Amino acid sequence: MSNNYDPVLASGKKILCIEDNPLEQMLLTRVLKIIGLDACMASTALEGLNMAAAIDPGLILLDMHLPEMDGSEVLQRLRKQTHLNKVPVVMVTANVWGNEKQELLDAGASEVLTKPILPEVLRQTLHRLM
């Protein structure tokens, strides 16, 4: 990353990461910390929905494949909650098939990123959305 710390992004808002893979959690936490953002981690879809309601995140990074329900269902539930329906949600997936990306964007996702996420791509995405 060329410019690690980004004062524009370091606004005090937390980033909620809903990700079940511990390695991905660790990598996201490190990259966000370098940028200057605090990350809250949820390992399950239900934990993520509860945390989103409790912490008022500035942005949500949402894994597409979670054990309890898939990311698109979590996205639908987030968009139905008045206080969360305008929070940017970045869907994160290892695979995007066919029209899946467009379907996610049409369903209310702010962006769709493919794993592994390059730190600079993540920083640029966050800068654009926050």
Q: Is residue 22 part of a domain?
A: yes
- Domain residues for the domain of 65 are 15-129
Q: Is residue 77 part of a domain?
A: yes
pLDDT digits (tens, 9 = 90+) for 76-87: 999 999 999 999
Nearest to 64 by CA among 1, 117, 15, 129: 117
What pLDDT was estimated at residue 2?
46
Tokens of 49: 């929905």
State the pTM of this model: 0.89
Q: Is residue 72 part of a domain?
A: yes
Cα dist. 64→7, 33, 45, 88, 93 in Å? 29, 23, 10, 15, 5
- Non-local CB neighbours of 125 within 8 Å, separated by 6+ positions: 90, 111, 113
pLDDT by residue, tens only, the chain of 130 residues: 445 656 556 566 789 999 999 999 998 998 888 888 888 999 999 999 999 999 989 999 999 999 889 999 999 999 999 999 999 999 999 877 778 889 999 999 999 998 888 888 998 999 899 8
Per the document, the length of the chain is: 130
Q: Is residue 20 part of a domain?
A: yes
pLDDT digits (tens, 9 = 90+) for 45-69: 999 999 999 998 999 999 999 988 9
Q: Is residue 5 part of a domain?
A: no
CATH number for the domain that contains residue 125: 3.40.50.2300
Lateral strand order in the sheet of 89-93: 38-42, 14-18, 59-63, 89-93, 111-114
Tokens of 35: 């940028």
